[in-house]
Amino acid sequence: MSFRVAVLGASGYAGGELIRLIDGHDGFDLVYMGAHSHAGSVLGDVHPQLKKPERPLGGIDAEIDADLVFLALPHGASAKVGFRLTERGLRVVDLGSDFRLDTPERFEEAYGEAHPLPDQLGRWVYGLPELFDCTGADRVASPGCYPTAVLLAIAPFLRKGLVSADGLVADCLSGVSGAGRSLRDEFMFGSVAEGVRAYGIAGHRHRPEIEMALDSLLGGRHRVTFTPHLVPMQRGLLATVTAAVVEDSDGIEDCLSLAYQDAPFVEVIDRPPQTRWVVGSNRALVAAFHDGHTGRLIAQCAIDNLLKGAAGQAVQAANLMVGYEETTGLPLDGLMP
Amino acid sequence: MSFRVAVLGASGYAGGELIRLIDGHDGFDLVYMGAHSHAGSVLGDVHPQLKKPERPLGGIDAEIDADLVFLALPHGASAKVGFRLTERGLRVVDLGSDFRLDTPERFEEAYGEAHPLPDQLGRWVYGLPELFDCTGADRVASPGCYPTAVLLAIAPFLRKGLVSADGLVADCLSGVSGAGRSLRDEFMFGSVAEGVRAYGIAGHRHRPEIEMALDSLLGGRHRVTFTPHLVPMQRGLLATVTAAVVEDSDGIEDCLSLAYQDAPFVEVIDRPPQTRWVVGSNRALVAAFHDGHTGRLIAQCAIDNLLKGAAGQAVQAANLMVGYEETTGLPLDGLMP
Amino acid sequence: MSFRVAVLGASGYAGGELIRLIDGHDGFDLVYMGAHSHAGSVLGDVHPQLKKPERPLGGIDAEIDADLVFLALPHGASAKVGFRLTERGLRVVDLGSDFRLDTPERFEEAYGEAHPLPDQLGRWVYGLPELFDCTGADRVASPGCYPTAVLLAIAPFLRKGLVSADGLVADCLSGVSGAGRSLRDEFMFGSVAEGVRAYGIAGHRHRPEIEMALDSLLGGRHRVTFTPHLVPMQRGLLATVTAAVVEDSDGIEDCLSLAYQDAPFVEVIDRPPQTRWVVGSNRALVAAFHDGHTGRLIAQCAIDNLLKGAAGQAVQAANLMVGYEETTGLPLDGLMP
Amino acid sequence: MSFRVAVLGASGYAGGELIRLIDGHDGFDLVYMGAHSHAGSVLGDVHPQLKKPERPLGGIDAEIDADLVFLALPHGASAKVGFRLTERGLRVVDLGSDFRLDTPERFEEAYGEAHPLPDQLGRWVYGLPELFDCTGADRVASPGCYPTAVLLAIAPFLRKGLVSADGLVADCLSGVSGAGRSLRDEFMFGSVAEGVRAYGIAGHRHRPEIEMALDSLLGGRHRVTFTPHLVPMQRGLLATVTAAVVEDSDGIEDCLSLAYQDAPFVEVIDRPPQTRWVVGSNRALVAAFHDGHTGRLIAQCAIDNLLKGAAGQAVQAANLMVGYEETTGLPLDGLMP
């Protein structure tokens, strides 16, 4: 048996990776690809790296015939089409941010505007399968790349009470593909190569998402000093999260290993993870170091922002939604160099 | 049915890609990995990007038990072990240069020394399946990355007599992984990033190999002005070959399409091929342009030097050696960006 | 004594380098900076790397008060303002292509349109001081980056009759800044990093310029197979030019050294020049290799496309126009890494 | 009047930049260049980017005739030669770490061994002129690149009591040249490009140096959670320092501007500093953001690690040592792109 799946938002980077993964997935049949400004063109025009370049791209259409739909649309563009698809009874995985937050208040805090469908908030499963149960879900909001890495690194320690929730600092480094494929001066080669910079300081939209996930998992109200940085590489994301270790830190050494012992995509290592070790795979590498000198924990997570941080994680959730093995069609191996 | 295969030379870049491809190949069972200085360590020490990192690495051993062996060893290190394996009746694909050339004279011209096993020269199939028949072969010498791209770009035109064999110029650009993984000052990040340079001008070892292949395919004695350049990227190789078009150039437009109509890994396009479109895949993109102003043809080929230029092509040949479909276990899709 | 100079086209990459060089030039006083869409902003908005960021940018104004004006404008934007400035008696160095070609026919061949001021063609000195005399000139058309490198590499051999003018092949590699600063999808980081490609095959506008310069220097009608490639780096340009060596090649070894013995910015070396050795300097590194196997010469030239290929060369010409030492205010040292 | 200066350790990256700066400095005459393994070769062998490549390299010689000596030697190699030079009455600027720390205890904590000349510790001025007075000094220990950026970013806030000294977190990103020029597998292009990673977590040698500087400036005992990261670029260093803001934070907005109003090389900006804006210059860009949501300050500093983080800062200190204007011979402009 195979599910008929569609990708809406086929022309972006995440869309391209979704198509590649679905093409190689034995249980998913790609029956429709839709794009906005590229509707009417063919796949090879936007993704010359993919096979069967003559396949046509349709529009962003909520009335398509499919069993499961991946949405890889810009912020704000998922809400209506996503809701309509669910109304029609289709399963939906939204890679965008429209259904990730849990309350209208949180959404407004993050995005500065009211949500068009506030009733939907809280009804979509947050699709980070290592921390939130996606099994059998029919609507999944797939996490952002930064929240994925930050949460995988630090949530187990917070859950066990091994670090303080006060003074959490998350400095994150991302390759440029994390910013999507839209044409902007700041993402030109001459604006990126041979330079690093922070952006969105104290105001990035992924902060409320991280805090929402921690609140959901652990209760209470979390606050994170979150500073994303752009580094001159295409793919890869590294989160470096520090937190004060509590006095009784028994169990801190084994915390990650225990947390992820059944997680096929999370590998706990004992040296600083490198993003190059995960490019091309759906793995997350996590490691943590207890700095006795300062009494802080330094926890890290490295992912491929387009796979475990986007398309791969979406397919992982979709596998669980329809009852497949979690790892079906997903690469554990990366490419190096 | 599955063949038991081994990789000798597991620690290099091509070795890592071989392991990745074999791990994902339904008809090959990886039963042994051997390395030289890393014998005794585990896979994760040299290829942290690959799954099952605890798998052990043995030595470079010609007495191993296997059906088919891939050799990814430095120049000069394949001859004896490769020959011994064939003596023992194993099928061998050598990714090195020891068995590529056809005569002791050519070998000495290229490498400045006598071949240790001159009788073997000419007995190995040159493993470029689009131009040389590898079906059922038991010993294959897999081509170098530059010859692969140069030959795929220009051989069809020479075979049809559409361009002159005089004055062939091949300027090629390669990413750094083509130089292998050994530690050398010239391949440090600070020696490569933000710079380009030619190397091996008028003396690169791949020139005799290109000329040998052309002589074998077409008869006569070919000479190529071959200038390789190193460019600051990890993977990818682009060959730009120019040749004088003959007076009667009928058929020049369709030459590539006809030549490669049955080649699953060669895609003929009508715009300049980009290496980024093939990274991660075993495809070769070829294109040619007839410059009416100068009367020359500009033919190009882009490949991933570690896949179609090394590990992928070796698996492609191995598939044909054992009777599998040529494309088994090989990616047609690339990763981008 | 100091000349009052202006830069029109201050917001681009070449404009930024002009400002930097003039700021450090003892004989030039920067009295005006003009830009098109950034008129009304300040220098720091477009060039945060430069000092005195609060300096204002005016418009593209042909009535400014100055002694000498550098034009760094897009193709087609220089003709009228440049001509008007010369009418007003100001000295002008145009870094654009509007006045480089020598005849209306050549211009139309290159640009596909009639020149707005055909009488001006042939009245501007082609500002490559090593090959064309700029001393005392009052209007200079500064060469393109590719022509600069190609001509410096091969012109001396053609002038001495050591290589044939038939079958000239110039394969060139350029960093991305050579394409300017305008916002285009093909120059995004995700479109450039980790890939190489040719462009403008058989039709690039610099080919007629190269041929014009060779015709001017040597007489006759030259034809060059010219293929530019984009490589993933910011700065640097390498020309690899091959030509058939004539039978009597006496003097080929010393040809470059003799040609450039009095050229302060050209250094003749005996190994392949690397672009990283000239980034940040106005030097050109040239080398040539006689390939006895094929009877062809491989001549190379490496420059910083924004300095010797643009702003540096323009200042070099300006020095000669006003009677300064050619090297005044120009760096001979580069930055590495 | 001009001082005769020497560079010992001429073959590394910092040595090359010292030579370039001194060559362009009106008050310094470069009279000697010494290297270890490259003694006996010429400048062009190690720095092909520099002018006058035929200049000879001598050995590491403490008996040379000069007024002022820059030492750019590996850790541990400066102590004896530096001390001997001062004994002979020469002024010395040591770019290495041998004389930076203030006590034998701190040295042993940082380097795990006893200092060979413990009496010298505390007798060298820490050469960060914006925070420590170098005027007229005869022996200066030039700071490490990370401490330079971290201290410039956060010291003013600590000095004014605007942030808490508890829970200081410094996450820093450096280009590869910061690791020097020695041949190591981890700095190969294939090990660096397209990847990021932390290193030296909880144990980097620059942490005791940062803490020493804070203790000296402010009294007390400081502790910093310091995590350096390697990013795929050649030059540039960005420090992101976070600290808890105290309750009475009056003056936090103007703190940096006031602190650096007389510092010619420090520019206070109001957006996140980019390393690309300082490459090629001796400037430091600093900015700070008060995150009301978490109550923490995010302070940043961007420098060129080879200039303000090494050679440029050393020349800046040397200017002050001999009574020159602080900015003599130092670039305020950077190169971009």
pLDDT value of residue D63? 98
Average confidence (pLDDT) over B70-91? 96
**For testing the chain B interface, which of D188, D194, D305 should be mutated: the one with the most B CBs within 10 Å?**
D188
Strands C237-244 and C266-268: unpaired
Nearest-by-CA chain D residue for A275: D195
At D109 the pLDDT is 87
Joined tokens for residue D86: 């001062």
pLDDT score recorded for residue C160: 97
Does the beta-carbon distance from C23 to D235 stay under 8 Å?
A: no
Average pLDDT over residues C10-14: 97
Strand ranges of the sheet holding B284-291, from the earlier edge strand across to the other edge: B197-198, B224-230, B168-174, B237-244, B296-303, B284-291, B266-268
Chain B residues in contact with chain A using a Cβ-Cβ cutoff of 8 Å: 13, 16-17, 20, 23-24, 47-51, 176-177, 193-194, 234-235, 274, 276-281, 332-337
State the sign of the Cα–Cα–Cα–Cα dihedral D19, D21, D24, D25. Answer: negative
Mutate to test the interface with B, among C172, C196, C199 (most CBs of B within 10 A): C196
Rounded distance between C-alpha atoms, residue D288 and residue B77, angstroms = 58
Cross-strand partners of D8: D34, D71
C187 contacts A189? CB cut-off 8 A: yes
Q: Which residues of D are catalytic?
A: 145
How many Å lie between the alpha carbon of C331 and the closest alpha carbon of chain B? Answer: 19
Residues of chain D with Cβ-Cβ distance to B11 below 8 Å are none
Residues of D with CB below 8 A from C42's CB? none
List the domains of chain D with CATH numbers: 3-142+310-322 (3.40.50.720), 146-303 (3.30.360.10)
**Cβ <8 Å between B202 and C235:** no
CB–CB of C283/C260 below 8 Å? no
Interface contact A234-C189, CB threshold 8 A: yes
Q: Which residues of B298-307 are buried (b: 16+ CB within 10 A; e: fewer)?
A: bbbbbbbbbb
For chain A, which chains pass the contact test of at least 3 CB pairs under 8 Å?
A: B, C, D
For the question of whether the overall pTM of this predicted structure is more than 0.95, the answer is: yes
Judge whether B19 and B311 are in contact, CB under 8 Å: no
Asked whether the beta carbons of B241 and A14 are under 8 A apart, the reply is no
User: Within chain D, which residues score under 50 in pLDDT?
Assistant: none
Q: Is A49's CB within 8 Å of B23's CB?
A: no
Encode pLDDT of A158-181 as tens digits.
999 999 999 999 999 999 999 999
Are the Cβ atoms of B332 and A51 closer than 8 angstroms? yes
Q: Cis before residue A331, ω within 30 degrees of 0?
A: no
Which residues in chain D have Cβ-Cβ distances shorter than 8 Å to C312?
Answer: none
B24 pLDDT above the threshold of 90: yes
What's the CA gap between A278 and B49, in Å, rounded? 6
**Identity at A278, one-letter amino acid code:** V
Chain B closest CA to C136's CA: distance in Å?
Answer: 36
At residue A109 the predicted structure's pLDDT band, cuts being 50, 70 and 90, is confident
State the distance between the two ends of chain B, measured CA to CA, in whole angstroms: 37
pLDDT of residue C1: 74
Judged against a pLDDT cut of 90, whether residue C109 lies above it is answered with: no
Strand-pair category, B125-126 with B139-141: parallel
Instruction: Count chain C–chain D contacts defined by CB atoms under 8 A.
Output: 67
Strand bridging mode D68-71 / D91-94: parallel
Chain A residues lying within 8 Å of D305, measured CB to CB: none
Q: Percent of chain C having pLDDT more than 70?
A: 100
Give the residue from B187, B188, B189, B225 with the most C CB atoms within 10 Å of its CB, the best one to mutate: B225
Report the percent of chain A where pLDDT is more than 90: 97
Reported as a single tens digit per residue, the pLDDT across C207-238 is 999 999 999 999 999 999 999 999 999 999 99
Residues of C in contact with A193 (CB under 8 A): 176, 189, 193, 232-234
- Looking at the DSSP bridge assignments, the partners of residue D141 are D94, D126
Which residues in chain C have Cβ-Cβ distances shorter than 8 Å to A176? Answer: 189-190, 193
Chain B CA closest to residue A178: B337
pLDDT of residue B104: 94
Containing C15, the helix (H) or strand (E) segment is helix C13-23
Query: Cis bond leading into D116, ω under 30°?
Result: no
What is the predicted pLDDT for the residue at C332?
A: 96
| Predicted confidence (pLDDT) per residue in D39-48, tens digit | 999 999 999 9
Residue contact C234–A183, C-beta within 8 A: no
Per the listing, tokens 């003929």 go with B268
The rounded distance, in Å, linking the Cα atoms of A255 and A269 is 12
How many CB atoms sit inside 10 A of residue A89's CB? 8
Nearest to C190 among A181, A185, A190 (CB): A181
In the beta sheet, which residues pair with residue C197? C230
Chain D residues within 8 A of B188 when measuring between CB atoms: 181, 183, 187-189
- CA B189 – CA B172 distance, rounded (Å): 21
Q: How many CA atoms lie within 13 Å of C246's alpha carbon, on the beta-carbon side?
A: 15
| Nearest chain C Cα distance for residue B153, angstroms | 14
All residues of chain C having their beta carbon less than 8 Å from the beta carbon of residue B225 are 242, 291, 294, 296, 298
d(CA A217, CA A152) in angstroms, rounded, equals 12
Query: Which CA distances in Å does A121 have to A104, A106, B285, D237?
Result: 7, 10, 47, 41
pLDDT for B226: 98
Task: Kindly provide the b/e burial profile for residues B272-284, where b requires at least 16 CB atoms within 10 angstroms of the residue's own CB.
Answer: bbbbbbbbbbbbb
- C255 catalytic? Reply is no
Q: In what order do the strands lie in the sheet with D28-34?
A: D28-34, D3-8, D68-71, D91-94, D139-141, D125-126
Reported as a single tens digit per residue, the pLDDT across A10-47 is: 999 999 999 999 999 999 999 999 999 999 999 999 99
State the Cα angle at A253 between A249 and A255, rounded to 5°: 85
pLDDT-derived band at A132 (thresholds 50, 70, 90) equals very high
Nearest CA in chain A to C178: A190
ipTM of the prediction: 0.96
Question: What is the arithmetic mean of pLDDT over C73-93?
Answer: 96
What does the alpha-carbon distance between residue A156 and residue B260 come to, in Å, rounded to a whole number? 54
- Note whether A333 contacts B20, CB cutoff 8 Å: yes
- Helix runs in chain D, H state only: 13-23, 43-46, 79-87, 104-111, 145-159, 189-192, 206-218, 255-259, 311-322
pLDDT band at A1 (very low <50, low <70, confident <90, very high): confident
Average pLDDT over residues B118-142: 97
How far away is chain C from the Cα of B308, in angstroms, using its nearest Cα?
16
Selecting among A134, A145, A255, A301, the annotated active-site residue is: A145
Q: Three-state DSSP class for C84? A: helix
H or E element at residue D92: strand D91-94
| Cβ contact, residue pair C189, A191, below 8 Å | yes
Average pLDDT of chain C is: 97
* pLDDT tier at B1, thresholds 50, 70, 90: confident
* Cross-chain CB nearest to C49 (options D23, D24, D277): D277
- Backbone region of residue D237 per phi and psi (left: phi > 0; alpha: psi in -120 to 50; beta: other values): beta
For C231-256, the DSSP string reads -SSSS-EEEEEEEEBPS--TTTTTHH
Instruction: Give, in order, the Cα–Cα distances in Å from C34 to each of C11, C22, C206.
Output: 8, 15, 26
Nearest to B197 by CA among D198, A29, D189: D189
CA C320, CA C133: separation in Å to the nearest integer? 9
Residue that has been written with the tokens 């000798």 in this structure: B8
CB-nearest to C335 from D277, D333, D335 is: D335
Residue B109 has pLDDT above 90, yes or no: no
